[in-house]
Amino acid sequence: MVSLTYRLGEKAFLRLGWDALAFALEIDGVEGMTLLSAGTDGTDGPTDAAGAIVDGSTAQQARSLGAHPETYLGNNDSYAFFNKLDALTGEQHHLITGPTGTNVMDLQIMLIERSG
């Protein structure tokens, strides 16, 4: 059963929760992979997040700080996960742009580093 008790917009549930956060779990510990998953409108329903940026260290970094990504993903609460991770690390995993006035598309950009 899916729990939707948290502040979620379309992208927080689909984009952040199932794309960025799920991807962070899939590449946990893998070096050289980064994903940006965001919407061009700059907001996500009732949230101020346009998307999120994750890499192979995101899940482990969160766990080491007491934020367990599996729990947040299971609760469909990626917005709170990225807010907590940003607060704990001082980094910015949430992409906050503010409203852009356009809604061209949703973007997913993956960077893969070539090994030397």
CATH code for the part of the protein at 10-112: 3.40.1480.10
* More confident site: 72 or 12: 72
Instruction: Tell me the per-residue pLDDT of 12-44, one tens digit each, with 9 for 90 and over.
Output: 444 555 689 999 999 999 999 999 988 888 876
Report the pLDDT value the prediction gives residue 107, as an integer from 0 to 100. Answer: 86
Instruction: Tell me the per-residue pLDDT of 81-114, one tens digit each, with 9 for 90 and over.
Output: 999 999 999 999 999 988 888 888 888 899 999 8
Among 65, 67, 73, 66, residue whose Cα is nearest residue 20: 73
Name the pTM for this structure: 0.82
Report the pLDDT value the prediction gives residue 72, as an integer from 0 to 100. Answer: 92
Residue 57 CB burial class (10 angstroms; 0-12, 13-18, ≥19): middle
Instruction: Tell me the per-residue pLDDT of 47-57, one tens digit each, with 9 for 90 and over.
Output: 888 889 999 99
